[in-house]
Amino acid sequence: MTKPPISVVLCTYNGAKYIEAQLASIIAQTYAVAEIIVVDDVSSDDTMAVVARAAARDSRISLSQNAFNIGFTSNFESALQMAKHDYIAISDQDDIWHHQKIEKMMAAFASDAAAIYCDSVRFTKDIPIHPIKNKKSKHVAGTNVRKLAMYNTVSGHALIIRKTLLEKALPIPTAVYYDWWLALQAVTSGGLQYLDEILVYQRAHDNNVTIAKNTSSKELRNNYRIMLRTHLQAFVQIASLSEKDQVFFINFTKHWSKMLDKGCSSGLFLFMLKNRKDLFYYKKRRLPLLAAIKHSFLFAFRNA
């Protein structure tokens, strides 16, 4: 059977140090990509020059640069809209793909799923020969949107989506993580699929956009609380939510906002306990009920 063509979208910002290696891993895929769309968000280093040299060697690479810096989420939205083909793989600028990433994901992609994602592992110097999976975490798949309400298990660099998903997912709210948004849209628009293989090696370095550094645990928790309210306020607007799921997100947003405004919310504590199997789905626990009580209390009574 003829393999359907696939687009790869890659957004760059000051990524000159590692972008060449990532482009090489995309070009080396056993499933040949039809186009590689690179959109630069006004880098101040040599990113444009590095990509331009790669584009001169491979006509599948197209390079464009924004007139001004528009930020991480908006840049990915712009790149996604440029894709010509029915399947779109998303890439970060500093990772390395397993050479069979696209082939394995496309072979597993179910006809009724809106998106599929694989597992990934971080590395610093050398790509791990025998990468070890995180046995403490679970990955969301299927059509239960509530399992993605509190934590996102879907990384953009691991995603392949159907282009039809963009009809519902765009525009992406600028204050939310684009991959989290796409995951929820997929779950409510046919389903999200997970391939249990490590096919992306995520490079950890000082300039990572998505890896927090030099931040205290307390500051991280406070940043998370604020971030989640912003995301919940966006999630409740998803048109493809069922009536029951919309009520769920409305109530979750209300209780979470009260906790932020007042410093505590018994309503949030009870809501989280009631919905603990969904809200805390992402993490494997030896004593799940006790863990749910502990974390619900910590979130609901942040000043206690």
Q: Say which DSSP state 142 is in.
A: B
Quote the tokens at residue 214: 């030099």
Exposed, middle or buried by CB within 10 Å (0-12, 13-18, 19+), for 130?
exposed
Of all residues in the chain, what percent carry a pLDDT higher than 70? 95
- Looking at the structure, do residues 151 and 267 belong to the same domain, yes or no? no
Give the domain CATH number at 53.
3.90.550.10
Considering 172, 203, 234, which residue would you say is the last residue of a domain?
203
Q: What is the pLDDT of residue 216?
A: 63
- Looking at the structure, do residues 91 and 224 belong to the same domain, yes or no? no
- Looking at the structure, do residues 144 and 120 belong to the same domain, yes or no? yes
pLDDT digits (tens, 9 = 90+) for 52-83: 999 999 999 999 999 999 999 999 999 999 99
- Closest by Cα among 164, 176, 187 to 240: 187
pLDDT digits (tens, 9 = 90+) for 205-231: 666 555 445 556 778 888 999 999 999
Q: Say which DSSP state 68 is in.
A: S
Structural domain range at position 267: 217-300
- Model-level pTM? 0.93
Domain count across the chain: 2
Q: At what angle do helices 178-187 and 217-235 cross, to 10 degrees?
A: 50
Residue 163 lies in a domain: yes
Of all residues in the chain, what percent carry a pLDDT higher than 90? 86
pLDDT digits (tens, 9 = 90+) for 109-138: 999 999 999 999 999 888 888 888 888 899
- Average pLDDT, stretch 272-298? 94
